[in-house]
Amino acid sequence: MTLRVQIERAAETDMAEIVTYLQEQQPATALRFVRDIRKAFTFLAEHPEAGRKYETTHPLLQNLRIWRVKGFERYLIFYRVGQASLLIERVLYGGRDLEGILAGEE
């Protein structure tokens, strides 16, 4: 069963910032990112357990899963699996303070 993809506002903002950054570097790369992240969402909706569990002791981040965007491995999708939906919470560059951002501390 394919889950319905829901994208949180924070993840939409993350993706807009990433695309803006990539467009400044090379517009073709930004288009490829958009294509590849859509493919990742589709794949995860079909195979929600594919991503590994995000290892943390922070109580707000339990049951969070992580997936690398193929072709853009430094960008990470953080999501949760629901009964009928896949909730995309954040899309972040891996070099940042991930736990601080995810916990709302940054």
Instruction: Give the CATH number for residue 37.
Output: 3.30.2310.20
Instruction: Please state the φ and ψ torsions of residue 90, each to the nearest 5 degrees.
Output: -150, 155
pTM of the model as a whole: 0.91
| The two three-digit tokens of residue 71, written as one number | 């072709």
Residue 98's pLDDT is 81
Segments forming the whole domain that contains residue 32: 4-102
| The two three-digit tokens of residue 8, written as one number | 């949180």
Three-state SS for 55? Answer: coil
Residue 105's pLDDT is 61
- Owner of token pair 């290892």: 55
Task: Tell me the average confidence (pLDDT) per consecutive run of 10 residues in the chain, 106 residues long.
Answer: 93 96 94 96 96 86 92 95 94 85 74
Total domains in the chain come to: 1
